[in-house]
Homo-oligomer: A and B are copies of this chain.
């Protein structure tokens, strides 16, 4: 293997271990053993556990950011639902690693880790704005999009702790939460309402947004 191939192999092995146990609990010895190489050789490719952890984090962050990319075709609700499915696939696949990172894992507080987490949030934000066809959002809309991204993060983290709600239902609920939070902001802010109204015209009767309205009307009755 070339140096780069070996590094990529070790990152892959580390991510697999972090998906089953918190990075705090995974030793360099285990990573070496799972990769079939000696401990000193791991240190040849990564000077310490933090650097391997950060490299793994970088690959995971790129993977996660990729999942927000969605073609600009079809109704918005359905697009967001596909993104949520890929997001929960990631969370499901990386459970302990994802939790450790967001709750304060080995690299938290390191500027590399914080920058990577922020880059994923920013990728999600930019993608959502592009689907809303908005370049310069009003302050309130920026706030609602960014705070919904953090709601999706915290919902995923809480879900991982026990998985007591079927994830498919949470995926739909998060899409509907987005609509609900945007509706609250639009109810207070003319510019936000004006930007969003045209987007809703294309929503089909069987999409997640219409489903929410139907459910709420039936709940109120």
Does A50 sit at the interface, judged by CB under 8 A? no
Cβ–Cβ contact B193 & A184, under 8 A: no
Q: Please name all residues of chain B whose beta carbon is closer than 8 Å to the beta carbon of A187 when the two chains form the complex.
A: 176, 212, 215-216, 219
Interface residue count on the A side (C-beta < 8 Å): 40
Q: Please name all residues of chain B whose beta carbon is closer than 8 Å to the beta carbon of A147 when the two chains form the complex.
A: 151, 154-155, 158
Does A143 sit at the interface, judged by CB under 8 A? yes
Main secondary structure of the interface of A (DSSP, over half): helix
Does A165 sit at the interface, judged by CB under 8 A? yes
Q: Please name all residues of chain B whose beta carbon is closer than 8 Å to the beta carbon of A109 when the two chains form the complex.
A: 104, 108-109
Contact with B along A20-55 (1 / 0, CB 8 A): 000000000000000000000000000000000000
Given the complex of chains A and B, what is the CA–CA distance between A151 and B157 in angstroms? 13
Known contacts being A108-B104, A193-B219, is A158 close to B184, with CB within 8 Å? no
Sample 5 A-B pairs with CB under 8 A, ordered by A number: A140-B165, A142-B158, A150-B154, A176-B184, A180-B183
Pick the 5 closest A-B CB pairs, nearest first: A187-B215, A150-B154, A139-B164, A180-B180, A109-B109
